[in-house]
Structure 1
Amino acid sequence: MSRYSLTTRTATREDAPLLAELWSDAVRKADRAEQVADIELVVKSAVASPEQRVVVVDYDGQVAGAVLLRITTLSPLNLEPCVQSIHPRVLDQFRRRGVGRALMEAATTFAEENGILHVVTAVPHSSRDANRFMARLGLAPVVMYRVAPTALVRNRLSPQRTGLGAETSRSRVLAARRSALRRRVPLEDRATEA
């Protein structure tokens, strides 16, 4: 059995290109240079704030995973403080080597250092392994966080109308279909369905 070196440290600006790759599905859709600049800003903000920390886990000197830790409240309505473990990620080649455990250990330590009773995290709903790992650590699902472009939600809430008569025309078509359906079902069958 080989020995390996697993170390936890605070991220630096030099880590930004690798962190942008690690968090590629979580950062904004932009060109690579803008994503790296965004991560540099996140790291800089975390270094300047006692309420944030970007933690990196090195495996034999190579970055193997990272997480953004932030002190906030459980929700805008529930003001109980918590530590959010935002996007704990492990590079594929370092999975099942203790890196994820080290990231969550860092989150727990950060919470304890600040006297906070709750640790919160979010993992992709499609990641069975990540969800099972978090469940084994005692983190229970509380909410499903859903995201969509504003324009899509607006379109679904109030579809564009092609004219004033469109709604009336649609209503007439639906009424005609309901009438035709009622005519096809015998009166006795309608009474038993009710």
Structure 2
Amino acid sequence: MPISVREVAMDDLVALMPIWDEIVAETTTLAVSDLIARIELSLSDIGFKLYTAWDGTAAVGVACVALTDVGTWTETPGVQVSGLHVLGRFRQRGVARLLMNAALACADSWGCSSIVASVPSASRDANRFLVKLGFVQASTNRIVDVATLRRRVSVEPRHLSIARMRRRSAGTTVPEISLRHAVGK
């Protein structure tokens, strides 16, 4: 049976579960509520689409397609493809190409001249696939928790930061200091 691609519908949730189970096995930080939220966003936001590839009644692939700004210093509209995932047993059958065709249709509809794809750097197969399609590395994205970055870049002296954490855990507040005392007069 030929593979077809269409925009997701809320009724597709149960059919998407095998794909979701594979995605969650790789990330372990996602819940079904995350998938439901993405489906709802796809149905309500003209700048975000969730596409699914189908083999008859079985969902075999998925991709998030969003309108984004790809310019660093100028407003340059582009299409962002993320979350591209094809069930293992359906890889090497053109499913991902069909999902990328849906992204091309969005680019045409939204008037975009560039498509950006986000895949995990450790995913060799996904990166090879994109290179075969002509994608080039344009940047490297890195991610950090806010708390980690705050610890590393904060201009607050470390001893003050520790004192603040101790006060918070003890439930006490900072004693009032007069402005005159604070500026040393």
Q: With the length of structure 1 as denominator, give the TM-score of the two structures.
A: 0.70
Question: Match of 1:12, as an amino acid?
Answer: A
* Other-structure match for 2:111: 115
Question: Match of 2:21, as an amino acid?
Answer: E
- Return the match for 2:2 from 5, 8, 11: 5
- Give 1:5 shift: 1.8
Paired residue total:
156
| Alignment of 1:37 onto 2:33 | yes
SS of equivalent to 1:24:
helix
Larger Cα Rg: Structure 1 or Structure 2? 1
- Cα RMSD (Å): 2.6
- Give 1:56 shift: 0.1
Cα distance in structure 2, aligned partners of 1:41 and 1:121: 21
Counterparts of 1:43-58 in structure 2, within 5 Å, are: 43-58=39-54
Distance change in 2, residues 1:64/1:138 (3 Å): same
SS of equivalent to 2:34:
helix
SS of equivalent to 2:148:
helix
Cα distance in structure 2, aligned partners of 1:25 and 1:160: 41
Cα distance in structure 1, aligned partners of 2:65 and 2:25: 18
Q: Is the 8 A contact 2:52 2:59 kept in 1?
A: yes
- Give 1:41 shift: 2.1
Hey, which bits of structure 1, 4+ residues long, moved more than 6 A? 25-28
> Which runs of 5 or more residues in structure 2 are unaligned?
161-185
- Give 1:49 shift: 2.1
- Indicate the structure whose relative CO is greater, using CA pairs within 8 Å and at least 6 residues apart: 2
Q: Is the 8 A contact 2:62 2:86 kept in 1?
A: yes
Question: Match of 2:39, as an amino acid?
Answer: V
Q: Deviations over 1:47-99 (max 9, x none)?
A: 12222211000124311110111112104643110011121111112111111
Identity of aligned residues (%): 26
> Which runs of 5 or more residues in structure 1 are unaligned?
164-194
Distance change in 2, residues 1:161/1:25 (3 Å): farther
